[in-house]
Every structure is written in C-alpha cells, then in structure tokens.
Structure 1
Amino acid sequence: MKALLFDLDDTLVVDEAVSSEAFAATARAASTGHGADAASFQRDAMRHARSLWAAGPCQSYCKAIGISAFECLWGKFEGDSEELTALRNWAHTYREQVFDAALREQLIEDPEGAADLAKTFAKERRLLQRLMPEARETLARLTPNYKLAMLTNGAPDLQREKIAASGLGNHFQAIAVSGEHGIGKPKPEIFHRLLSELGVQASEAVMVGNSLERDIAGANNAGVKSIWIKVKGSEEPDSAIPDYTIESLSEIPAILEALK
C-alpha cells in the first residue's frame, strides 16, 4: 500500500453529533426567546429540515454532490455555477421555513424570530467544529510512510471551510471535493482522478470512511481496498462490504502493517 484516501465528515471531523448540538443550542434560544419547549423544538426542527430538503428543488443536485439537509442550514454555497447559485438562493428561504415550521408546531407565529433562529443555528454550527478522536495523531503517524489524500463529498466552500477549521490540511498531498469536480462518491471516476493526481494505482490505495453507501461502495467500484469506521449516529443501511471494519482511527496503522 502506498496511499490512503480519507473521507472528511464523521471520519476526520465530527459532523452528525455537532449538528445535533447546534440544533440543541438553537432550541434553547427558541425556549428563551419565544417560550418554546426546547426538546420538542429540536425534534421538530430536525424533522422539518429533512423533509423540506427532500422536497426542495435542489435535492437532486445535493444528493449527487453529497450536500446534506443539515449542511443546507449553514453553508454559504459560494460559486457562479447554475447549481450553486440556485442552491444558495433557495437555502435562505429553506432555513427560515425550517425554524418557522418548528415554532408553528407549538402555535408560535413569529417569522422574524424564525429568521433569527436560522442565524443562531449557522453560528452555533460553526463554533462546534471539532476533530474525531485520534484523527490528528493517526495522520501524524501515517504521513511519513504513505501518500495521504482527502476525498470528500460536499459543496466546495463548505468543505474547504471545514478542512481549514480542522487544521489537518497540511497532511494531505491532494484533496478532492465532489462539488469542485461535479461528481461525487460512490462514482469511481472521482477516485480515479485523485489516484492519478497521487501517481498511484487503485491496487496500491486504501479508502477510509464512515459511509457504506458512499465511501465503501465507491472504493469497491474503483477497485480500492476499504476501511469502514463505524461511527455511532452516522450509520446507514447499504449492501457494500468493507475489507476492514474499525471503531477508532488508531486501528489503521496495524491494518496497514498486516497488508504489507
């Protein structure tokens, strides 16, 4: 093995858990400012975020590139492409609709308050960014002996913002964001582009990620070995089978030694 490809969200940086924490902080603001029941507000806001996203006009693009419902609540979606422009314009309305719907569940009508809560969520989500356990230490161990690359689905500016906040960018010789290429995991093409940039063959690389549907299935499609990191709260059903399964990034070096 000469190279490792790493996913970002819930592989190197915490995503699902901090999104829930941002909803909780926003629910507390709804309780303090509007008298809402915080627990019900959080539950309802998360539900409306998913349902409005799924029914929205940008859903097909979001799904293809890998932009989640919760990311649509705080991403800036900068760029001149037709898809990003449409997403950027729709996202502002979507955010207010999510929190307005959650307030109305408790018979609270305050559109201006909903707009303020949308801003609260975006602010809290940015403040809560943090690394997965052992992320920095594992990358430091691997850097001297392997070529490292990052392969992440998502909007260009949002994923680059997360990478900058993580402080991990200097470990990677190449970084591919699906939104910058117009194609995302599990399509094998984006794997092949990144491998070509690294100058390695598919048989010489390992993909590390938390998503069976995107990371593991994509690695299988591209002929790359895979390591699935099981992250509580980010599981999804899929038939893709990983070559290895771990619960901590610190287990990776031992797997690589065995592959030698």
Structure 2
Amino acid sequence: MGDPIEAILFDLDDTLCTYRRSGQEILSLAFEAIGREPFFTAEGYYEIFDDFVTDSDSGLENRQRCFAALAERAGYSPSVGREVADAYAEERDQTNVRWLPGAKEALDVHSPDYSLALITNGPPEWQIQKIDALGIADRFETIVYAGYDTAPKPDPEPFHIALDRLNTEPERAVTVGNSLGSDVAGAHSAGVRSIWLDADGIDDPEPAPHHRIETMSDLTDDSRSLFTIAER
C-alpha cells in the first residue's frame, strides 16, 4: 500500500462546482448579441485557453486573445473575435455556479482530518468569485491559481507549491480532479497520487489514474479505502 494520506489537493471547475449556464449557451448568446452566426464553439475556446495564459494579465485579456485567434482561424478579423469576447463577458456571471453532487459533503467530511488545498487553472479574479459564492475559502489552507501564480497544470509547479505550503511530501498527498490532462497528469508529474472524477465513462483513461470515482459522493461513501490507494 502507499503512504498514509495527509493532504488532499482539490481541483475547482467541474470537480467541486460547475456553471449553471454552460459555456456553449453563453457563447451562443454572445454571437446572437453581435448579430453573427457562430464560427467557433466553446470547446474550441477551452482547447486553446491555456495557450495565452502567460501573455495575459487577466482572464478577460486571455479570452480576448483566444477569441481573436479563433476569429482569424475562421477567416474573420481579430476585432470580430474581441467583439464576441465583450458580448460573452456581458453574459457570464462568475458567481452563478452550483455544487457538483457530493462535493460539499466531501469537503465537510475531510476538512477535519486532512490538510486541504485548492489548485485551479483559472484567472484569480474569476475563481475568487466562484469560491466566495460557494463559501469555501476557509476550507483550504492554501489556494494556488495555476497559470497565474505558477505555471498551469499539468506542470508540477502548482502541486509542489501547494505541498510546500502544507508542509507535506508528495507521497502523502492525493489529487482529486476531473481532468486527465491537467489534474491526473499534473499530479503524476509531481509524484502525487490521483483520484479521477470520471464524468464521461471513458474506458481506457490516459494517463491512468490511481483511482476512479463516478461522483464526488464516492469520497464520502468509502473514503478510507480511497485514501490508502495502491502503490504507483
């Protein structure tokens, strides 16, 4: 068996919470607001979001750069993309989020027994609004805004910084997140075990997590076995 777990590193978006209105819904309204037919999707936006993080001072600037690049790819002027970004910003309310099933209970159950950290790939000015809306800032001993405080996940840096602040070794921590590419791969690169929230029923996830859960409620149903998961 692996070393006993002392710390849990949680992801935020689509692990603890999600928007009540999807990105695709907001994007459709943005195109409608400026009177243009959609020429990219929310998924296309998410795929390139991290590409512009290091050159952007804020989430709004990052989105402007993403949308300008997507407009150019579609044969439009970058200014059209920025117009879509402005309309998107008018529609998006960062406080309009909801808990994922079992997520609040998971924090309630484990905060007395483990050191908790939040590591999120997201602009601080957006993520703070979500955290405040959920009322969870005091649940975590540290919060790392990866991509802004540090390199974005899956780089090991945000995990190492969180662990240093918690005074915990990697082998005594576990990451809980929904993204194979960011959370699981990042945890493994930092020498941390992984629990993957599988919302899509993927048969052969890559990289393979140390444990898979279907809902955050699984973290409260049989938590002790989850947090003594097998050796890497």
> If the TM-score is normalised by the length of the shorter chain, which range does it land in?
0.7 to 0.9
Aligned to 1:126: 93
- How far did residue 238 of structure 1 move? 6.2
* Shift, 1:157, TM fit: 2.4
- Which amino acid is 1:172 matched to? F
Higher helix share: 1
TM-score (norm 2): 0.74
Pick from 27, 41, 65: which aligns with 1:23?
27
Partner of residue 56, structure 2: 84
Deviation sequence 1:48-81 (CA, Å, 0-9, x none): 9649x85xxx96443xx6xxxxxxxxxxxxxxxx
Question: 1:240 aligned to 2:207?
Answer: yes
CA, structure 1 residues 97+122, in 2 after alignment: closer, same or farther (shift >3 Å)? same
% identical equivalent positions: 31
Question: 2:104: which partner in 1?
Answer: 136
1:163 counterpart = 2:163: no
Equivalence for 2:164 = 196
Classify the secondary structure of the residue corresponding to 2:153: coil
Per the alignment, do residues 221 and 99 of structure 1 end up closer, same or farther by CA in structure 2, a change over 3 Å counting?
closer
Aligned counterpart in structure 1 of residue 145 of structure 2, from 162, 165, 177: 177
- Write out aligned runs for 1:34-183 (5 A): 34=35, 41=37, 44-46=39-41, 50=45, 54=48, 60-62=51-53, 83-85=55-57, 91-92=63-64, 95=67, 115=83, 118-126=85-93, 128-183=96-151
Partner of 2:187: 219
In the TM superposition, what is the alpha-carbon distance from 1:247 to its structure 2 partner?
1.4
Structure 2 residue 19 is the aligned partner of structure 1 residue 7: no
Question: Which whole-Å CA distance do the structure 1 matches of 2:140 and 2:70 have between them?
Answer: 37
Alpha-carbon RMSD across the aligned residues, in angstroms, is 3.9
CA distance in 1 between counterparts of 2:43 and 2:172 reads: 43
- The amino acid that maps onto 2:211 is Y
Contact 1:226 1:243 in 2 (8 A): yes
More strand by share: 2
Q: What stretches of structure 1 of length at least 5 have no aligned partner?
A: 66-82, 106-110
Could you give the per-residue CA deviations for residues 211-257 of structure 1, whole angstroms, max 9, x where no partner exists? 11111111112221111001249x8x962111111111110134431
Structure 1 residue 129, shift from structure 2 partner: 2.6
Aligned to 2:18, the other structure's residue is in SS state coil
Q: 2:188–2:194: 8 Å Cα contact kept in structure 1?
A: yes
Give the Cα separation in 1 of the matches to 2:189 and 2:61: 34
- The equivalent residue for 2:218 is 251
- Check conservation: 1:151, 1:175, Cα contact below 8 A: yes
1:198 & 1:45 partners in 2: Cα distance? 41
Q: How many aligned positions are there?
A: 220
1:150 CA displacement: 0.3
Bigger Cα Rg: 1
Q: Are the aligned partners of 1:48 and 1:98 in contact in 2 as well (CA < 8 Å)?
A: no
Unmatched runs of 5 consecutive residues or more in structure 2: none
